[in-house]
Structure 1
Amino acid sequence: MKIQKEIIEFEKDKSFKLFSPSLKNCFFWHYHPEIELVYVEASKGIRHVGKDISSFVDSDLLLIGSNVPHLNFDYGIQTECKQLVLQMRENFLHDLILSIPEFETIKKLLEKSHLGLSFSGKTKQTVVEKLHSIKDKNTFESLIGLMEILQILAHSTEVKELNSEDTRIKWFLNDKIRMGTIYSYIHENYDKKPNVNEIAQTVSLSTPAFCRYFKKQTNMTFTDFVNNYRINQAQIFLLKDYSVTEVCFHVGFESLSYFNKLFKHHTGKTPSEFKKKHLSNIVESI
């Protein structure tokens, strides 16, 4: 579960690549020096960018800066999933953007991308349309299209910063290796009873020290994080048409009423409401 450095290869004489990867069943926690723009379309998924671990519904558009650790966004998705990933060469910012005054706003956007930026609304819709349109264009036209996309993102107000501090790999590599062990433990035990004393011992910390460390890394207590993970997994199982009761016990809750209450707190809907809405959307799209 250690974080991996992804080696990205580009075609000769191309500054970026645009493709549609599929790693649904692979937990690929990685980083790379290339700045990345990701669009993922699915009924429900999890995003893990830097320290931020949150969920998205329907779709997400993210700009991820150089050397920011992130999980593949199709991980664990059991329904139909579409992805577009655009990766820019490591020297893209330095060679093309920095030297041109007219690109000042784009420069600021790319410099801020180390926080992980999620775009919504009209911005997301317009950018996704342009991503599809540049797929089949020649090299020069596609580059111009990319600059237009970056300009749109740079001027957008429909943006959320996922992290409040620098989470690039050089800043917290050792901590993230330890977090990989913790994340693996939670993933393997969320449906049972994850034991804070057991995982603290695994990463060679006392329980109080582990709790302080975990809260600093995730801005959540261990219990809150596990429950958040359970709710994310519950949404995936609901979309596979399990009953609410089945899902409740399948993800490790012992009380149906508590599961319903916590689910609504996290998603704004009861499990039944969530299932009805999103399963009907899936049926309508078929």
Structure 2
Amino acid sequence: MKIRKETVEFEKGKSFKLYSPSSKNCFFWHYHPETELVYVEAVSGIRHVGKDISHFTESDLLLIGSNIPHLNFDYGIQTECLQIVLQMRENFLQDLIFPVPEFENIKFLLERSHLGLSFYGETKKMVIEKLYLLKNMSPFNALIKLIEILQILAVSDEVKELNNEHIGISWFLNDKIRMGTIYDYIHENYDRKPNVNEIAGIIGLSTPAFCRYFKKQTNITFTDFVNHYRISQARIFLLKDYPVTEVCFQVGFESLSYFNKLFKQHTGETPSEFKKKHLKKAER
């Protein structure tokens, strides 16, 4: 469960790899030198890129720079999920993109990708349509289409930077603690009362040392992360048409008013508003 380097294999004569992995039950906390564009479609999920831990609803489009640690985006998802992953060779970017003046915007985009970028709105919609087209194109036409996709992303302002600083693998390689153990513990206990003293003992740290470690790794406290995870699970239950009150207690909250308040802080909607807005889409 500790961080791993992924070895990406490319077909001969191709500058990028396009595929649809499925690893819901696998904790794959990893990095690789290749820059990666990921589209994930699910009712709700967790994204963990660098130090950022956040949630998405319905779909997400992410650009992740070279050697930025990230978790597979279908980890722990209990509903239908689709991933499309596009990985680009290092030398393709360095030899073709970086030296060409006309690709200045794309070069800047790739430099920013070390922060982890999440795209939304019309940008996401346009890029997804073009990603699907890539599958049936000849290698040359697919390469031209990829450059077109990168240019769309490069000039878009419909983007969120997930980290506020470059978080490369060198920062994480100094860590000997297994994040997977923490994720598994939270997944098994989120509906009860995850105990910071218990998980600290499991991974061999004092409680204060664990709290410092977790905050350094994720930029949030252990309690905040547990609440993030509970809200993510609550979304799934709501979109399965469970009553709001039942969902509240099912994901571990003891107060309905606190659950409603926290849910709105995380999603911008109350549980009832979220359910009404998204349930029909999920059923489709």
Report the TM-score when normalising by structure 1. Answer: 0.91
Greater alpha carbon shift after TM alignment, 78-87 vs 221-230: 78-87
For residues 130-182 of structure 1, the C-alpha deviation after alignment (integer angstroms, 9 at most, x for no partner) is 11222211011110111111111111111111011122212222337443333
For residues 90-149 of structure 1, the C-alpha deviation after alignment (integer angstroms, 9 at most, x for no partner) is 322222222222222212211221110011112111111211222211011110111111
For residues 170-223 of structure 1, the C-alpha deviation after alignment (integer angstroms, 9 at most, x for no partner) is 222233744333333222222221112222233333322332332232222221
Aligned mates of 1:249, 1:208 — CA distance in 2: 29
Q: How does 1:255-266 map to 2 (within 5 A)?
A: 255-266=255-266
Stretches of structure 1 that go unaligned for 5 or more consecutive residues are none
**One-letter amino acid of the counterpart of residue 133, structure 2:** S
Matched, 1:79 2:84: no
Q: Secondary structure at the match of 1:201?
A: helix
Corresponding residue number in structure 1 for 2:69: 69
CA contact (8 A) 1:231 1:263 kept: yes
CA contact (8 A) 1:3 1:177 kept: no
**One-letter amino acid of the counterpart of residue 8, structure 2:** I
Deviation for aligned residue 1:20: 1.8
Q: Secondary structure at the match of 2:220?
A: coil
Aligned mates of 1:176, 1:231 — CA distance in 2: 29
CA contact (8 A) 1:3 1:176 kept: no
Matched, 1:175 2:175: yes
Change (3 A) 1:55 1:176: farther
**One-letter amino acid of the counterpart of residue 209, structure 2:** A
Aligned mates of 2:27, 2:225 — CA distance in 1: 18
Report the TM-score when normalising by structure 2. Answer: 0.92
Aligned mates of 1:169, 1:176 — CA distance in 2: 13
CA contact (8 A) 1:36 1:86 kept: yes
Aligned mates of 2:232, 2:240 — CA distance in 1: 13
Q: Secondary structure at the match of 2:215?
A: helix
Aligned mates of 1:137, 1:130 — CA distance in 2: 11
Q: How does 1:29-178 map to 2 (within 5 A)?
A: 29-175=29-175, 177-178=177-178
Aligned mates of 1:243, 1:28 — CA distance in 2: 33
Aligned mates of 2:99, 2:176 — CA distance in 1: 34
Aligned mates of 1:51, 1:97 — CA distance in 2: 28
Deviation for aligned residue 1:254: 2.0
Aligned mates of 2:28, 2:275 — CA distance in 1: 28
Corresponding residue number in structure 1 for 2:209: 209
Aligned mates of 2:166, 2:105 — CA distance in 1: 20
CA contact (8 A) 1:33 1:90 kept: yes
Greater alpha carbon shift after TM alignment, 51-60 vs 101-110: 101-110
Change (3 A) 1:237 1:28: farther
Aligned mates of 1:98, 1:280 — CA distance in 2: 45
Change (3 A) 1:230 1:255: same
CA contact (8 A) 1:19 1:84 kept: yes
Corresponding residue number in structure 1 for 2:10: 10
Aligned mates of 1:271, 1:62 — CA distance in 2: 26
**One-letter amino acid of the counterpart of residue 164, structure 2:** S
Deviation for aligned residue 1:13: 0.7
Deviation for aligned residue 1:4: 2.1
Aligned mates of 2:267, 2:273 — CA distance in 1: 10
CA contact (8 A) 2:27 2:180 kept: no
Corresponding residue number in structure 1 for 2:273: 273
Q: Secondary structure at the match of 2:132?
A: helix
Q: Secondary structure at the match of 1:175?
A: coil
* Dislocated runs of 4+, deviation >4 Å: none
RMSD of Structure 2 on Structure 1 (CA): 1.9
Aligned mates of 2:92, 2:132 — CA distance in 1: 21
